[in-house]
Structure 1
Amino acid sequence: MNEVRIVMDSKIKDIFAKNILNLRKQKNLTQGDLAEILGVGVSTVSDWEKAKKYPRAGVIEKLSSHFNIPKSRLFEEVNGRSYLGFAEMAMVPVVKKISCCNGYVTYENVDRHEATPLSWVSCGEYFYVLAVGDSMINARIYDGDLLLLRSQEDVEEGEIAAVLLNNEIVIKRVFKNGGILVLHSENPSFSPIYGNDEKNTIKILGKLKKVIFDV
């Protein structure tokens, strides 16, 4: 099993927190002022400045535009060292619904695009989904986690994948029993799902590569 779990780098959050606080004070803005400009809640700005959260790509664009600075400046220390160069990022879709027709997979509902390091997505096609529920908690996949997946139609025995199950995206560990796909949860409260059940239509969408969560 090769998937990697990622905690958003606390160093990056700390640098961004200091920079956004300094920029706000230089412009004599309150947290409420900045929240209104960006269209976010005051608590969100507060969390940024406490290094608790990291902004989405669209907000980074707004910050860059409002303060008239390069996006990379938001992630640079005073000495100019960049920890998150935006030129080294790819915009990866966060998908809420996927359909499959005649063998073609289509992203029907894209919630947003997430700025993602190119080193994470250097080979192949990638997409994100949000984890829902508690069926994979023993693999440290919790409700609301952001999951990065590489698009592929098959995975190795026991790997975790995004699967289209009766037109719904689910995250499961995939096993094969005599050519039949069997989907296992990482929670004993959930029973295995068998691909030979007439009620179940199963298609593998992609292999889990990273789990992104806040601490």
Structure 2
Amino acid sequence: MANSKEVFAKNIQNLLKIHNSTREEVAKFLGVKYTTFCDWAKGRTYPKMEYIIEIADYFNVKTYALTDENPNYEKAYAEAFEENFNAPKELPIYKYNEKNALVLKAIDNVPLEWLDTNPDDDFTGLILPDDCMEPIYQKNDTVIAIHSDYINEGDYLLKNIKNSKLALRRLIINDDKVTMFPLNPNNKIHDITRYISKEEFDSKYEIVGKIKRHIRDFD
């Protein structure tokens, strides 16, 4: 039976090949010297548990994929993926205060299955400050947007580059033209439909993300 250093070294070498990674890349990720990582990969020394956990995170596997002799790498990956998928996701939710300033209301931990998404996805939430998107979205409803640079037709959380304010609007894309509009034409802040070029849109607005969840406020 191989000793623990030999087992660890063999697993490191196998995982490097599977992921097409280099020793330099992993050492940089861990923040350790290249020679230190090479000593682990060659079975000269054995890392502390904290580094074993970090290496497992790098390869997206459970730690036994590094410490067990002849482990099932596919199983170790699947278990790590399921664990990450079911872990709560931090989600910042913003609102406008009485001075109409955008502030962070809370950072909620929500289960990924509730969002029906990938563990690597990021989100931003906003408590709607007005009636611009009625009747579908009402004032004080919460919308959660999944981060994405790609846009097509739909409802998006947008950031005004000039003043950094967030707003929910519907977008329609036709070739190089963008139509951006509130669903409620009689909204109280008198926002209007805008017909602008894609170039102008990109210069004025940043896509935060497409709406993934809508939570109705019943207070």
Query: TM-score per shorter chain, which class?
Result: 0.3 to 0.5
The structure where helix makes up a greater share of residues is: 2
Superposition TM-score, scaled by structure 2 size: 0.46
The structure where strand makes up a greater share of residues is: 1
